[in-house]
Amino acid sequence: MNLLKNIKHTAIKVFQNEADALLNLIPYIGDDFEACVQDLLQASGRVVVTGIGKSAIISNKIVATFNSTGTPSLFMHAADAIHGDLGMIKKEDFVICVSQSGNTPEIKVLVPLLKQLGNKLIALVGNRGSYLAKQADYVLYTGIEEEACPNNLAPTTSTTVQMAMGDALAVCLLSARGFTAESFARFHPGGALGKQLYLKVGDLMDKSLLPLVEEDASLKEVIVEISSKRLGATAVVNKQGRLVGIVTDGDLRRMLQMNPDLSQILAGSIMSKAPKTIGEEEYAVKALGLMRSYNITQLVVTKGDEVIGFIHIHDLMKEGIV
């Protein structure tokens, strides 16, 4: 039991340590950070992120975030850079060097070479008095009081704040560029998230299935139309072809419970007026939101006053949007 308590206590201490370290960085987000973002926005080249050890892993993550949010970026390992990989850097590229100490041997060899190439250098560094910080054009401070590791050795809190600083840069850049959900979708076409951001109603609806009857259609015609199109509903239009209502299988059940004279039932007498509609250019995720809001399973798809199809909850489920 004591061991379990110790485990919980340790985990909570890690969270507290890393949360405090992140909050402690807020006072260091000042003019230098803003000027760095402005310079990156105006740059014509890419952002090359480099580091060694755990900082190299964080650098890879920062690159992934940049690329997915509209900032062209690539990773260069600091050790490989001084053995030929410097050839990937163009003069107009920005270089972000990630290092906790700022004094590793590889960094001390790499920085003068970058300066010779004429690249602007951003130090994402935990030591403002380090060699890297003194040589950089911009210093993004990621200093910590101690690691979450009880021995103050394993990179834990230091890598968390490095990653957070990279996230702050990426989000500031995407916000300044007006990077939208639609922009994000272009870089994330795969998976459920991508589908939510780019699939439209017109991409999913089956245009060959268009259940449609006029207001004076008989009950038999309504039932045949609903059953033959297998969407659980039919749109109802007037003589001019304009949408005036919808009859669902639920409407039929409620009507039958009233024991009416079935021979006198017409579509217009049992339809639900003002059916919920959506345009074919709307995103499928919006259709899902409407269905959930109104607790329904289908929407009539319209183009102006014309009924052009249905979008059903099953269409969304098949694409993994639900």
Query: In the chain, how many domains are there?
Result: 2
Separation CA 37–CA 169 (nearest Å)? 7
Kindly report, residue by residue over 263-316, the tens digit of the pLDDT: 888 999 999 898 999 999 998 888 989 999 999 999 999 998 789 999 999 888
Separation CA 140–CA 254 (nearest Å)? 67
Predicted TM-score (pTM) of this structure: 0.66
Q: Are residues 173 and 215 in the same domain?
A: no
Within-domain flag for 190: no
Kindly report, residue by residue over 11-50, the tens digit of the pLDDT: 999 999 999 999 999 999 999 899 999 999 998 999 999 9
pLDDT at residue 177, rounded to an integer = 87
Q: Are residues 28 and 139 in the same domain?
A: yes
Kindly report, residue by residue over 151-160, the tens digit of the pLDDT: 998 999 999 9
Q: Are residues 253 and 157 in the same domain?
A: no
Instruction: Report the CATH number at residue 140.
Output: 3.40.50.10490
Last residue of a domain, one of 179, 214, 246: 179
3-state secondary structure of 242: coil
Within-domain flag for 165: yes
Kindly report, residue by residue over 180-232, the tens digit of the pLDDT: 666 666 665 555 566 666 788 998 888 888 999 999 999 999 999 999 988 88
Residue listed under structure tokens 């890419």: 46
Last residue of a domain, one of 119, 144, 179: 179
Within-domain flag for 298: yes
Q: Are residues 82 and 218 in the same domain?
A: no
Separation CA 96–CA 60 (nearest Å)? 12
Kindly report, residue by residue over 233-262, the tens digit of the pLDDT: 999 999 988 999 999 988 898 888 887 788
- CB neighbours of residue 212 within 10 Å: 17
Long-range contacts for 231-234 (Cβ within 8 Å, ≥24 apart)? 231/298, 231/310, 231/312, 232/297, 232/298, 232/312, 233/298, 233/310, 234/267
Of 175, 99, 177, residue with least CA distance to 132: 99
Report the pLDDT averaged over residues 42-68.
Answer: 94
Tokens matching residue 291 = 């269905």
The DSSP symbol for 3 reads: H
Within-domain flag for 186: no
Q: Are residues 238 and 119 in the same domain?
A: no
Q: Are residues 14 and 100 in the same domain?
A: yes
Give 217's contacts (C-beta < 8 A, 6+ positions apart).
Answer: 225, 236, 266, 267
Within-domain flag for 184: no
Separation CA 122–CA 137 (nearest Å)? 6
Angle between helices 157-177 and 2-24 (to 10 degrees): 40
Within-domain flag for 288: yes
Give 4's contacts (C-beta < 8 A, 6+ positions apart).
Answer: none
Contact 72, 47 (CB under 8 A): yes
Q: Are residues 22 and 169 in the same domain?
A: yes
Within-domain flag for 218: yes
Q: Are residues 13 and 153 in the same domain?
A: yes
Q: Indicate whether 145 pLDDT > 70.
A: yes
Domain with 254, as residue range(s), is 201-318
pLDDT at residue 183, rounded to an integer = 62
Burial pattern 109-134, b for ≥16 Cβ within 10 A else e, equals ebbeebeeeebbbbbbbbbeebbbbe
pLDDT tier, 321 (very low <50, low <70, confident <90, very high otherwise)? confident
Q: Indicate whether 82 pLDDT > 90.
A: no
